Amino acid sequence: MKKLASAIAILSMIVSGLLANVGMASAHADLVGGIDNSPKSLCQAGWTYRTTGRGADVIVNIGPQLFSENKTGSPSTATFINNFSGTATATFTGGVNVSVSIKLAAIQASYSIAASLSMSASIGMQTTISIPNGMTGYGQYGISQAYTTGVEEYTTNACVVTQSSNVTSYAPYRAGWSTWTS
């Protein structure tokens, strides 16, 4: 019985020593590279971007506004063809700490649009509209830009926001015709 008690005591010391060494290795790994990765570090420090709102789209006109008057006495149609090319480019004002690609990805995810850094409009795009008798049909080809607002924030490992900057943006996402009658 004495041998069993001695063996248990020795085994207990060995296990305690192993656990202590694991704890030391774990504590060392938590500070590798000067980054606190311990469980008390709840956030990854760094800059983030989030959208906060979307306003009315802005249209970048490509070419002149076209029109067709209907004086036929019955409904008619008109076909408009774009004969101009052009490009719209995204603009961001405000924060400069988060990349444009991250901001565009946030806009795409938040509003389910294909926002891009730059978009070109092609020559030859056409549309046909119905024009009631006595009215005029109008068409304007252009690129829609989403007007959005957002905020860049720097968050510490302790999940505290220490810096922030408001951002406004115009990001192109669709080329096409806008038509109406009056």
Each of the 182 residues of the chain gets a pLDDT tens digit; together they read: 454 444 444 444 443 443 344 343 333 334 444 454 555 568 899 999 999 999 999 999 999 999 999 999 999 999 999 999 999 999 999 989 999 999 999 999 999 999 999 999 989 999 999 999 999 999 999 999 999 999 999 999 999 999 999 999 999 999 999 999 99
- Whether 101 and 30 share a structural domain: no
Domain housing 23: 1-41
- Domain annotation covers residue 166: yes
Ranges assigned E (strand) in 3-135: 46-54, 58-61, 66-69, 76-81, 86-89, 91-94, 118-121, 126-131
- Whether 37 and 124 share a structural domain: no
- Whether 85 and 1 share a structural domain: no
Amino acid in position 94 = G
Question: Distance between CA atoms of 37 and 24, rounded to whole angstroms?
Answer: 14
Question: Distance between CA atoms of 126 and 136, rounded to whole angstroms?
Answer: 18
Question: Distance between CA atoms of 144 and 92, rounded to whole angstroms?
Answer: 16
- Whether 56 and 24 share a structural domain: no
- Whether 88 and 10 share a structural domain: no
- Whether 30 and 103 share a structural domain: no
